[in-house]
Amino acid sequence: MCEFPGGIYALTSETADTEQLLTQVEAALAGGVAAVQYRDKSGDVARRHEQASELVALCHRFGVPLIVNDDLRLADLTDADGVHLGRDDGSLREARIILGKDKFIGASCYQSLELALAAQAAGADYVAFGSFFASPTKPAAPRADLDLLREAAPVIQVSLVAIGGITLANAPQLLDAGADSLAVLSALFDAPDIRAAAHDLNQLFETESEE
């Protein structure tokens, strides 16, 4: 089991423009994000393989892990640093067998502490709760309550990741409630200056560590 890095966890938006994707992620990396998750639900296998491979190389230049969303085979083929699995995306135990002990395995646990406890027992390196706020990416997603993080903190030993509509303004509530990592898409990649947005979000963790 690996310790997932605390900090800003950048979630990529789906695009056919690989050059733009790499430029945006590089800006986020330069701004100090702690991890990147590649998300692409398209059926374009060649594009997904190319983009994931390029992102693995880019992230490794910055010493940051690249996690593949929902696709264990792609994570394995591109030698990514791990995989993130939703409730219906396959077995955490199978992922560990295939990827080995040195890769990260994350699990979406939505609004359920029970799912998080089960994921932890199955060998997940982090569990993700959400959506905590209204998300432009998934506006209809059910909401998680801040109390969920407070309840999880004493019983979940792996990293707690919060997701869903996170901004510079509302992020401190999640950190105060016990989140170790904040998964961010819109507030990062829709910002006019991605590097500056990443830097400002990252500063929240610097402040937290000083308190």
Beta strands, E only, the chain? 7-11, 35-38, 66-69, 82-85, 104-110, 126-130, 159-163, 181-184
Q: Does 13 sit behind a cis peptide bond, omega within 30 degrees of 0 on the bond before it?
A: no
What is the residue type of 134? A
SS3 of residue 84 by DSSP: strand
- Please tell me the distance from the alpha carbon of residue 36 to that of residue 15, in angstroms, as a whole number: 15
Identify the pLDDT of residue 208. 63
Note the pTM of the prediction, 2 decimals: 0.96
Name the phi and psi angles at 181, rounded to 5: -145, 145
Task: Give the tens place of pLDDT for each residue, 171-182.
Answer: 999 999 999 999
The answer for residues whose C-beta is within 8 angstroms of residue 126's C-beta and 6 or more apart is: 4, 104, 106, 107, 158, 159, 160, 161, 180, 181
Chain centroid offset of residue 199 CA: 17
What's the whole-number average pLDDT of the chain?
A: 95
Task: Give the tens place of pLDDT for each residue, 5-16.
Answer: 999 999 999 999
Considering only CA atoms, give the Rg of the chain: 16
Task: Give the tens place of pLDDT for each residue, 69-125.
Answer: 999 999 999 999 999 999 887 899 999 999 999 999 999 999 999 999 999 999 999
